[in-house]
Chains A and B, each alone.
Chain A
Amino acid sequence: MNDAIQIAVDVRDAVKRYGDFTALQKISLAIHDNEFFTLLGPSGCGKTTLLRMIAGFEDVTEGGIYLFGDEIKALPPHKRPVNTVFQNYALFPHMTVLENVGFGLEMKGSSRKEAAKRATEMLELVQLSQFAKRKPAQLSGGQQQRVALARALAPSPKVLLLDEPLSALDLKLRNSMQIELKHIQRETGITLIFVTHDQAEALTMSDRIAVMSAGELQQLGAPRDIYEHPRNMFVADFIGDTNLLEVSVDKIADGSAQCHIGGGHELTTVVVDGVAVGAKVHLSVRPERMILSDQPSDGESLKGMVTENIFIGTDITTMMDLDGGPKITIRTSNTERGNKRLIEPGNRAFVTMEAGAARLLVD
């Protein structure tokens, strides 16, 4: 199966500079055909710049961009077989919904009639057929969003680019649009490059995620891989909630590292590349991978005092001060079993980690 993968967009050592400022430093990534690929990162990380370079709105300072093997760096946007859904939709206010959706086809040389036919099909796909004759201003935000999507899909682009398309929608609408978008991607089998700063959105929707920060690619992988095995501090911190504890490595043997945290806590964890004895590194543990108890366990456990329990619906977050200073949070599911484990603030508690939950981070 692996050898059947075709590369849709190949970014090779792409660099973008504005004067002295480097927005992107030597990014290389290959986006597979039929893939839902997400560029994720905080604002200013260069994700939108990269997307705009693929669309053709920004030129490439160094390196190259290939679309199904063809170098597209020198092509102006109107000659690239990719279409974009813009953050603010950029619908044409003086045209009807149908004219908006048919515009790309008309520009590609279809007759008005053909364009209208295909546009009608696209509006059916996004369930907006009854609004064909309206102007964009007469639609709600979610409907405008779907028109923008239909407009970008209509000319059957080889790759669909989406620049934070859901950020202007409220939470409920955003969730249903996420599902709809995923659905449409499956139905049309189109390669989709999605830009977002919302890590939850990225985890929900993507086949693969490229995490970016400060113009650099931090980690590339499947959502689960990135969540469970963050490669560095930035990724661990940016994706989901995590506890970052400063540890010293005491001993390395048989692929596991023995470390200690201040306050007399001993911990054993899987060793990763670049960790040496005596090094001070960080340990990342997801809050939901730790188990609270009022009894010390047989194995290693962390000791401390519960300071607060915060109810957040599906879970309860427990804040704890460990002996020796460090603070951690533990998430317990709001179930009968989980609720039994909770400990009132002010009481001593013991925390054990699930096997393989703790991960050493070199930088």
Chain B
Amino acid sequence: MAAGAASGGSAASDTYVKARHWLLMPSWLVLGFFVFAPVCVMVIYSFLTKEFRGGVIWDPTLAAYDQFFFDRGLFGDGDPTLQWTYISIFWRSIWQAGLATILSLLIGFPTAYYIATRPANTRALWVFLVTIPYWVNLLIRTVSMKFLLRDEGPLNDFLMNVGLINDPLHIINTNLAVQLGLFYSYLPFMVLPIYASVERYNFTMSEAAADLYATKWTTLRRIVLPTVKPGVIAGCILVFVPSLGAFLAPDLLGGAKNFMIGSLIEEQFKGNAGNWPFGAAASMVLLSLVMIILLIFSRQQRRAGAAA
């Protein structure tokens, strides 16, 4: 709509062209030390040989990846067949993270929409209220969730007292508990970007749609959602990616049966039983997977952007 607006402000930023590199140095240093360097370490470790008490031996090998993808029998001398154990853990993780993302979207979108349509002076308060629970440590929150959901916990007590159920619901140690835990852990990451894009949405467009005979539902589907899509996609990525690698919620709420990729990796680095190269290799597979998903998303975004 404001086609010409983007051209402003370039003259002022030109003044800083020379200083730009120096001003960006702190960011580059932080990125280098805390993102790039650790990833490099993981890449290298994934190609090394494991030491039995944790740590690595500097002897390059593909053993870790081989262990992840192939089954060579009990003694390691059989014909390689595809190793389903880890792939199925991966698949379950994607599934769990996907459901948690959908759940977050279903709850997060109306929440964000509600906040964005409040009077401007109360919106900050609503956003503040959404973030309050996240001032408490994630571990504490997840443990509280376990307490809330268990068979003799407050949720079941309440439902039984109200008379909705006769026997307690077994939520803990199920997939549902993990999804609920992930949903609860990352909900604000869904709400905030959607809120930001709905707040920028020009509600006159909804009036225009109504004026042109569109019902409320059609307006939401045809006008509001396509316009705020960038916020929705950002929210989905921000919930899906950390859910995929999460280990607190699966460990505490899901039990042993509902092992996820995050827990698998965590195991490899904990105590003496670990296998660092294998953990690093699994991390690399996870990292690649997330990268591929993000690339697909951003390519679609760019294609949609080029059309606009």
List residues of A whose CB falls within 8 A of some B CB.
Answer: 55-57, 76-79, 82-84, 86, 88-94, 103-104, 107-108, 135-140, 144, 151-152, 155
List 24 interface pairs A-B (beta carbons < 8 Å), by A numbering.
Answer: A55-B207, A78-B210, A78-B211, A82-B211, A84-B208, A84-B211, A86-B204, A88-B1, A88-B202, A88-B204, A89-B1, A90-B207, A90-B208, A93-B1, A93-B227, A93-B308, A103-B209, A103-B222, A104-B213, A107-B214, A135-B307, A140-B3, A144-B1, A155-B213
A84-B208, A103-B209 known; A91-B215 Cβ under 8 A: no
A79 to B3, alpha carbons, bound, how many Å?
Answer: 33
- Name the residue of chain B whose CB is nearest to the CB of A80: B211
B213 touches A108 (CB 8 A): yes
Find chain A residues with CB under 8 A from B213 CB: 78-79, 104, 107-108, 155
Q: Interface residues of B: mostly helix, strand, loop or mixed?
A: helix
| Nearest CB of chain B from residue A317's CB, rounded to whole Å | 36
Q: Contacts A90-B205, A107-B218: A83 and B210 contacting too (C-beta < 8 A)? A: no
Shortest CB-to-CB span from B200 to chain A, Å, is 11
Q: Which residues of B contact A (CB under 8 A)?
A: 1, 3, 202, 204-205, 207-215, 218, 222-223, 226-227, 307-308
Question: What distance in Å separates the Cβ of A178 from its nearest Cβ neighbour in chain B?
Answer: 23
Indicate whether A136 sits within 8 Å of B1 (C-beta atoms), given known contacts A57-B207, A93-B308, A94-B226. Answer: yes
Residue among B211, B223, B308 making CB contact with A77, cutoff 8 Å: B211
Within 8 Å CB of A136, what residues of B? 1
Distance in Å: Cβ of A142 to nearest Cβ of chain B: 12
Of all chain B residues, the one with the shortest Cβ separation from A107 is B213
B212 CB, min distance to chain A CBs, angstroms? 4
Instruction: Write the nearest CB–CB distance from B236 to chain A, whole angstroms.
Output: 18
Tell me, in angstroms, the Cα distance from A137 to B202 when the chains sit together: 14
Q: How far is the CB of B201 from chain A (nearest CB, A)?
A: 10
- Flag if A83 contacts B212 (CB, 8 Å): yes
Q: Give Cα distance in the complex from A58 to B1, angstroms.
A: 25
Hey, which chain B residues are within 8 Å of A140, CB to CB? 3
Residues of B within 8 A of A82 (CB): 211
Collect the chain B residues with CB atoms within 8 Å of residue A107's CB. Answer: 209, 212-214, 218
Which of the listed residues A78, A138, A151 has the most CB atoms from chain B within 10 Å of its own CB?
Answer: A78
Which of A55, A78, A104, A139 lies in contact with B215, CB distance below 8 A? A78
CB <8 Å contact, B212 and A151: yes
A242 vs B303: C-alpha distance when bound (angstroms):
59
Inside 8 A of A94's CB, which chain B residues have their CB? 226-227, 308
A79 to B, closest residue via Cβ: B213
Q: A78-B210, A91-B205 are known contacts; what are 4 more A-B pairs with Cβ within 8 Å? A: A55-B211, A56-B210, A90-B205, A90-B207
Pick the residue among A86, A137, A138, A144 that contacts B208 (CB under 8 A): A86
Cβ-closest chain B residue relative to A154: B212
Q: Which residues does chain B contribute within 8 Å of A83, judged by CB atoms?
A: 211-212
Instruction: Kindly identify which residue among A90, A137, A155 contacts B3, using a CB–CB cutoff of 8 Å.
Output: A137
Complex Cα distance, B209 from A84, in Å, reads 10
Within the complex, what minimum Cβ distance (angstroms) separates A221 from chain B?
29
Best-surrounded residue of B211, B213, B222 (most CB of chain A within 10 A): B211
Shortest Cβ distance from residue B208 to the other chain A in the assembled complex, whole angstroms: 4
Say whether B308 contacts A92, CB under 8 Å.
no
Within the assembled complex, what's the spacing in Å between the Cα atoms of A322 and B308? Answer: 63
Cβ of B134 to closest chain A Cβ, rounded Å? 33
Nearest CB in chain A to that of B212: its residue: A104
The interface residues of chain B lying within 8 Å CB-to-CB of A76 are 210
Query: How far apart sit A358 and B3, CA to CA, in the bound complex (Å)?
Result: 50
Cβ–Cβ < 8 Å partners of B204 in chain A: 86, 88, 90
Q: Which of B208, B209, B214 has the largest count of A CB atoms less than 10 A from its CB?
A: B208
Please give me the residue from chain A that is nearest to B207 by CB atom. Answer: A57
Given the complex of chains A and B, what is the CA–CA distance between A155 and B209 in angstroms? 13
Complex: chain B residue closest to A87, CB-CB:
B204
Give the CA-CA distance A139 to B4 in the complex, in Å.
10
A200 CB to nearest chain B CB (Å): 26
Bound together, the chains give a CA A184 to CA B89 distance in angstroms of 66
**Nearest CB of chain B from residue A72's CB, rounded to whole Å:** 13
Bound complex: CA of A20 vs CA of B3, how far in Å? 40
Which of chain A's residues have a CB closer than 8 A to the CB of B210? 56-57, 76-78
Report yes or no: A78 in contact with B214, Cβ–Cβ below 8 A.
yes
Report chain A residues within 8 Å CB of B308: 93-94, 135, 137
A-B pairs with lowest CB-CB distance, top 10:
A104-B212, A107-B213, A90-B208, A77-B210, A90-B204, A94-B226, A107-B214, A78-B210, A84-B211, A137-B3
Q: Which residues of B contact A139 (CB under 8 A)?
A: 3
Could you say which residues of chain B place their CB within 8 Å of the CB of A86? 204, 207-208
For A151, the chain B residues whose CB sits under 8 A away are 212
Tell me the smallest distance from the CB of A286 to a CB of chain B, in Å.
39
Q: Which residue of A lies closest to B203 (CB)?
A: A90
Cβ-closest chain A residue relative to B225 = A94
In the bound complex, residues from chain B placing their C-beta under 8 Å from that of A104 are: 211-213
Residue of B nearest to A101 (CB): B212
Name the residue of chain A whose CB is nearest to the CB of B210.
Answer: A77
Q: What residues of chain A lie closer than 8 Å to B3, measured between beta carbons?
A: 137-140
Docked Cα-Cα span, A88 to B3, in Å, equals: 13
Output the nearest chain A residue to B202 by Cβ-Cβ distance.
Answer: A90
Give the distance to chain B from A138, nearest Cβ to Cβ, in Å.
7
Chain A nearest CB: distance from B5 CB in Å?
10
Alpha-carbon distance between A55 and B212 when the two chains are bound, in angstroms: 11
Instruction: Say whether, besides A136-B1, A137-B308, A92 and B205 are in contact (CB < 8 Å).
Output: yes
**Once the chains are docked, how many angstroms separate the CA of A89 from the CA of B3?**
13
Cβ of B224 to closest chain A Cβ, rounded Å: 10
Most buried by A among B202, B212, B213: B212
- Determine the chain B residues whose CB is within 8 A of the CB of A90 once the complex forms: 202, 204-205, 207-208
User: Which residues does chain A contribute within 8 Å of B205, judged by CB atoms?
Assistant: 90-92
CB-nearest residue of chain B to A96: B307
